[in-house]
Amino acid sequence: MAKKKNESAVPTIGVTPVFRRIYEAARDHSVIVCVGGARSSKSHSIAQFLTLKFLTEENKRILVLRKTSPSLEESVEDMLLNRIIKRWPTSDPDVSLYDLCKHVKSRGAKSLTFEPRRNVVNKIVFRGLDEPEKIKSTEFNYIWMEEGNEYTKNDFIVARTRLSGKVKPGERNNIFISLNPVDEFGWINSWLIHQPGVYVDRSTYKDNPTLDKQYIADLDRLKDEDYNAWLVYAMGEYAQRDSIIFPPFIMDDWPDDSLFDETWYAVDFGYTNPSCILEFNAMYSPDATLPEIYVRELLYERGLTNSRLIRKYKKLVPEERWTYPCYADPAEPDRIEEFCQAHINMLAADKAVEYGLDFTKRLKIHSCPENINMNRERGLYMYKVDRSTGMVISEKPVKLNDHAMDALRYGCYTHLSPLQQSAPGLTFSAGEPDIERNSSPVRFQDVEEEYFSLSGVTESDRERMWNDPRCWESF
């Protein structure tokens, strides 16, 4: 007999195999590391676990982290609030768990509070770990560090010291770290998983019961088309290192912006896939033709029409820089023209993939922890690999996780390759240009120094250098 609407009923929630494994492991382990491939349900399962604790236990504080605050909203916050808590049923079919909570948004953090009865207060805090000191004064029972590759070892140590909330007999505090298999030699794989009290759960797309058959077929097909991509995306294993295209970015202190000699931008268009905006800053040296590059990730967001992307660009890039070069996919001339009509100096990029990658790999590229998506893509950006031999079989990259990488190539190759093409072998010595030929330096005493300005070479500089026969007659 069907129940009446007002008759109480115990709501049920479907859970994944990953949820069941981590639920059991959390009883005996303080640290749970969830490593998995694409759509393996690891993040969803952790969100379900935390929601269950939030609903059923008493006076618990839960901390949900990303490395930076801007990355919270469209990742873990969206997962936990919109996909889990707002859909979590109660005994009243017209009321969700979210309806029973108090959602507070403040500068630097957001929180969700649930008070099921008197003297019982459970709280979820969403925060970016831009500055680890921000969490040092608070105690938590459960901590979730999403995208574990973004954090440093010190970030984890600081977070774990906050895992000191009060528990009842039989309860245990837990810290969860979820990540894709990007950095085989990073601190998580080389140190953390070998520590006592750590449980490692490895998941694949087969652990996700909600995937459609077409997506599964696409992943299975990777095994024959590109074995290395199949290892990473389907099986959640670390890629063979030789196939990863870019070496690790330089992650050192970021210099003051006033020290940069030149700035430009690049955009990778998207809608279903993320649109990406990168800022490039160059520091030239008298000892090298090509500068060192400092890259900022300004935007990485899905669902942006061209008009919205233009508004985002104008908000993120100062108006005085709208005339700076911005390179974009030449296959999208209409979108480029719309940017130009909006008074943004957008240019068609040189889309030579193989040459562009080879050139970009030789640059010294500096990044920073805030470049979350760009840094993540680098570790997943790879050449195709033969299944039987493990050898790279194509100089073109696998078309997955490449939005920031495409923008990186557009900006580096299009803007900087003319330097190398126009002045092969060019070095600087005592303020004068030397060009080596047959192991003997040839000096151009009559060439004005402005042609080779150490503060950066402009487009007009390149044009003069190319058209001046004094520079090239000896080749």
What is the reported pLDDT for 2?
45
What is the reported pLDDT for 443?
32
Phi, psi of 250 (to 5 degrees): -80, 120
d(CA 8, CA 218): 43
Query: What are 387's two structure tokens?
Result: 């299944």
Could you tell me which residues are beta bridge partners of residue 308?
Answer: none
pLDDT tens series, the chain, 475 aa: 444 444 444 557 788 899 999 999 999 999 999 999 888 999 999 999 999 999 889 999 999 998 887 777 767 888 888 888 888 888 788 888 889 999 987 766 788 999 988 889 999 999 888 766 667 668 999 999 998 988 888 889 999 999 999 999 989 999 999 998 877 778 898 899 989 889 999 999 888 888 888 888 888 887 766 666 777 778 888 765 667 788 788 887 789 999 999 999 999 999 989 999 999 999 998 877 889 999 999 999 999 999 999 999 999 999 999 999 999 999 999 999 999 999 999 999 998 888 888 889 888 899 987 888 898 888 778 887 666 666 666 667 777 778 999 999 999 999 998 886 544 433 333 333 333 333 333 333 333 333 333 333 344 544 554 454 433 332 2
Q: What is the pLDDT of residues 331-363, one digit of tens each?
A: 999 999 999 999 999 999 998 888 888 889 888
d(CA 228, CA 337): 38
What is the reported pLDDT for 429?
31
What is the reported pLDDT for 76?
81
What is the reported pLDDT for 7?
42
The one-letter amino acid at 306:
N
What is the reported pLDDT for 447?
34
Stated pTM of the model:
0.59
Could you tell me which residues are beta bridge partners of residue 336?
Answer: none
Query: What are 174's two structure tokens?
Result: 């837990």
What is the reported pLDDT for 5?
44
Which residue in the block uniquely carries the two structure tokens 């069907």?
2
**Do 199 and 33 touch, CB atoms closer than 8 A?**
yes
Domains and CATH numbers, the chain: 17-211 (3.40.50.300), 257-422 (3.30.420.280), 431-472 (no CATH)
What is the reported pLDDT for 134?
67
The one-letter amino acid at 113:
T
What is the reported pLDDT for 251?
80
